[in-house]
Amino acid sequence: MQRLSVEEKDLRETFYHCSGSGGQKVQKTSAGVDLMHLPTGTHVRCQRERSQGLNRFLARRLLMEEL
């Protein structure tokens, strides 16, 4: 994020309940991450893992790849 000069204030992050594999864990918690880079309008979603923290990291990585 530093290399691309992207700051946290430029990101809008929301969380949602996942669907699919993972059982009750993903259905009870908001583990899915919806991340948008406001200046460019680039948008990514990540629900790959059961952990919200890991999904937040992966979503940021996906967003940096898009930018």
Per-residue pLDDT of 15-50, as tens digits, reads 998 776 666 666 677 889 999 999 999 999 998 888
Q: pTM of this prediction?
A: 0.82
Q: What is the average pLDDT across 43-64?
A: 93
Kindly report each contact of residues 29-36 with a partner whose C-beta sits within 8 Å and lies 24 or more positions away, as own/partner.
31/55, 33/58, 33/59, 34/59, 35/11, 35/59, 35/60, 35/62, 35/63, 36/11, 36/12
Q: What is the average pLDDT across 9-19?
A: 90
pLDDT at 41: 93
Question: Distance between CA atoms of 49 and 39, rounded to whole angstroms?
Answer: 27
pLDDT at 40: 92
